Amino acid sequence: MMHYQIKTGLLILLLMLAAFLQPAGYAQAAGKDTVNYSSTCINSTISFGSPIFDSLSFPKYIRWDFGDPASGIFNGAGTQQPRHIYTAAGKYYILLKVANNGADTIYIRDSINIVSPMAYNFGPDIYLCEKKDTFLTAPVIPGALYTWNDDSLTHSDTLRVAKSGVYTVAIDGCGVTDSVGVFVSATPKLDLGKDHVLCTNEILELNATTQNGQYTWLLNGAVLPSQGGQLPVVDPGGTYVSIVTVPGCGTYKDTVSITFSNPTAPAFSLGPDTLLCPKQVYTLTATAAGATAYDWSTGATASTINITDEGLYWAFVTVGQCQVVDTVQVNYRGDKKLDFRDTAICYGSTLSLDADFGTGTYNWQSVPPQRDDQNQTGQSTYFVYKSGTYSITATVGQCVYTDTLTVSFNDSLKLKMNGDTTLCIGETYLLQVRGPANTYTWQDGSSASAYEVTKTGAYTVVAENGCGKDTLQATVQFVTCACNLNLPNAFTPDGNGINDNFRPLHACQMTNFEMAIFDRTGNLVFRTTDPATGWDGTFRGAKVASGNFVWMVHYFSTETKLPVFKKGQVLVVR
């Protein structure tokens, strides 16, 4: 219960004494008249706080009494977020006294039950096969609040689990003494391949590797000492059996016959491992003297195959009465982008632009034109001598990369930064400096080009480059906002720095936050457990098309101590 009181004589003192001597379990007013704490365990360091400080960021006076006189001088504290250790179990009555900058003094009273961690054994670790789940159970205590260490909203004594992790639970704020590991394995796909007769001196390795597998190998019925997922085949070979046991999934078995013929293997190679450009089609050729048949990992039987996906490719080539084999790893270059940015340099300086993607064709253009020796070199590096707009088209294999930038020449440095603003308590604000500076120095000595603001104040940055320096300042104020978690109904992820992400407009006092976004067919395109992390309008690295998407938000309100669920639609505008 919160009391706003003006200390004016004996009557006020009597009212304060009567309030403090309220019997255990007296009702508190809803709102910010509460005390928060991180644990209820004996001998643990417990962090305290109160929502009252959201509206009183800089009170004149703070005094905590933890109701633990046995702790001596440690029973009190004068900070917003103190820590305390209780060395004995029991119920303690907490008093928080806060004086604001006016004449009023606020008293907040609460209690905390300190307990010993409950001795509990979850049992042995659990192994599951993919697409299966299990249930973890905690001691059943009527009326207790359960907090599991996963990111779910489950607050009961039973938790449904379907993914790997180490799980434990706190009961009324104090964790039990045990945890349990859950290990989920993919369903094994054991395939040792076809039977083969290899030429002498050929090298082959059988592969039975699978997640969390335990391996036993047999050759002609005899157990081999190898316990790994791969086994080299040596002359004279024979019948190989792989037995793979995956906890939670079962035991899997496959057999293959690999023998050797007398002819020495002729020279055979698929070529070196290779790195390709995105969308490039690559031809693999299996050329060996006297070849009569081909067996590729793709199932093809011709002497050549066209590659459009990365992976490990192999080919068995029949030569006479035996086969030779080789493998090659094909990878694709990530879709690297050119990212030149508009810039300004000092008069008399030269700017070097580097667009190197490897061997290819480079076509530079400038407006207005520069010297001919610059525009016709075809090199990946380009030197800028004067103001203008510069563009590059780089063709590497079947990949085409383009970009454009504007270069200006200045005598002094002029920058821009987003300005003064007012935000809700709990939100963050990113001050970003725009311009061609090389170094940045903020009021606290940090040196990044952007600064994350979390509290009220005036923020200053001094930015410099070879042309000079510029000083920018912004004032940011945080005010109390009602916890009505709002989300916009549209956003424009076009990369211009304005309304590029979809996220809550301001954060509430909450835990166990989860936001999921679905397309019109029900596919999950985005999920986060951080209210500050927004959706940028992409799915698996690609931009989604304009249109409506459904969002669902779950969180647990620390003010009402109740779970909250909201849903709605957001329009992606491109």
The class level of CATH for 490-572 reads mainly beta
The third-level CATH classification (topology) of the domain covering 3-114 is Immunoglobulin-like (2.60.40)
| pLDDT tens digits, one per residue of 514-559 | 999 999 888 899 999 988 889 999 998 899 998 999 999 888 877 6
User: Identity (one letter) of the amino acid at 230?
Assistant: Q
The class level of CATH for 416-479 reads mainly beta
Average pLDDT, the chain: 84
**Across 24-38, 63-77, 82-96, 417-431, least confident range:** 24-38
| pLDDT tens digits, one per residue of 37-84 | 989 999 999 999 998 888 777 788 899 999 999 999 999 999 999 999
Residue 435 has pLDDT above 80, yes or no: no
Handedness of CA 501, 504, 505, 510 (dihedral sign): negative
Residues 6+ apart with CB under 8 A from 363: 378, 392, 393, 394, 395
Residues 6+ apart with CB under 8 A from 1: 19, 22, 26, 27, 28, 29, 33, 109
Residue 247 has pLDDT above 90, yes or no: yes
Averaging pLDDT over each range in 228-232, 377-381, 447-451, which range is the top one? Answer: 228-232
**Which tokens go with 356?**
């190197």
Residue 525: its pLDDT value, please? 93
**Which tokens go with 214?**
């335990």
CATH of 186-265, one of 1.10.340.30, 2.60.40.10, 1.10.357.10, 2.40.30.30: 2.60.40.10
When pLDDT is averaged across residues 207-234 and rounded to a whole number, the result is 94
Residue 103: its pLDDT value, please? 60
pLDDT over 70, % of the chain: 87
**Cα–Cα distance, 367 to 351 (Å, whole number):** 16
Residue 25: its pLDDT value, please? 28
Three-class secondary structure of residue 433 per DSSP: strand
Residue 211 has pLDDT above 60, yes or no: yes
Statement: 343-410 belongs to CATH 2.40.128.20: no
What are the start-end ranges of the E strands in 411-481? Answer: 416-417, 421-424, 429-434, 439-442, 450-453, 457-465, 468-479
| pLDDT tens digits, one per residue of 169-192 | 999 889 999 999 999 999 999 999
241 neighbors 255 (Cβ within 8 angstroms)? yes
Residue 102: its pLDDT value, please? 64
490 vs 419, higher pLDDT: 490
177 vs 20, higher pLDDT: 177
Within the chain, all domains assigned CATH 2.60.40.10 are found at: 3-114, 186-265, 343-410, 416-479
